[in-house]
């Protein structure tokens, strides 16, 4: 018996239209058959694992000494009532994995918190001393050769 004969009694009936529900759009119908994520968050975990981060380079003793001297120049300028403009290159550690990235920030320094070892800029940026790898600006030109 052919398939069409099995359903002969219903083949010519009109298509059912619900009186209580609106007709679905093609996009809504297609969404019913979209793949579902059996492992929630797996794709994000794979992307996070593949995300590249830089490694922090260690400063030499000479580089640390120069950096300390530049921080002293900043403190002196602040004591004179200045708000010196400097460019800071610093390493920002990544919160999720080993490593991080090097960033630069330029602006006027508002204050230095010596006990907490943090530079505070007028724009609200805070940079811990331990993350700083380079300080540059006009302030240092008369004291250091760049």
pLDDT in tens, 34-53: 776 677 778 787 787 777 77
DSSP E strands: which ranges in the chain? Answer: 85-93, 100-113, 118-121, 126-128, 132-136
Is residue 69 within 8 A of residue 144, CB to CB? The reply is: yes
pLDDT digits (tens, 9 = 90+) for 7-22: 888 888 888 889 999 9
List, for residues 89-131, the tens digit of each pLDDT value: 999 888 887 888 889 999 999 999 989 999 999 999 999 999 9
């Amino acid at each position: 018996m052919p398939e069409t004969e099995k359903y002969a009694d219903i083949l010519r009936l009109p298509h059912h239209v619900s009186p209580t529900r609106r007709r679905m759009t093609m996009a809504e119908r297609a969404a019913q058959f979209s793949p579902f994520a059996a492992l929630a968050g797996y794709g994000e975990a794979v992307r996070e694992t593949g995300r590249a981060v830089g490694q922090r380079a260690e400063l030499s003793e000479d580089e640390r000494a120069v950096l300390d001297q530049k921080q002293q120049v900043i403190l002196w300028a602040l004591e004179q009532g200045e708000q010196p403009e400097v460019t800071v290159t610093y390493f920002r550690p990544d919160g999720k994995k080993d490593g991080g990235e090097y960033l630069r920030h330029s602006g006027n320094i508002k204050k230095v918190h010596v006990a907490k070892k943090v530079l505070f800029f007028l724009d609200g940026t805070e940079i811990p001393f331990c993350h700083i790898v380079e300080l540059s600006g006009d302030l240092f030109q008369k004291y250091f050769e760049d």
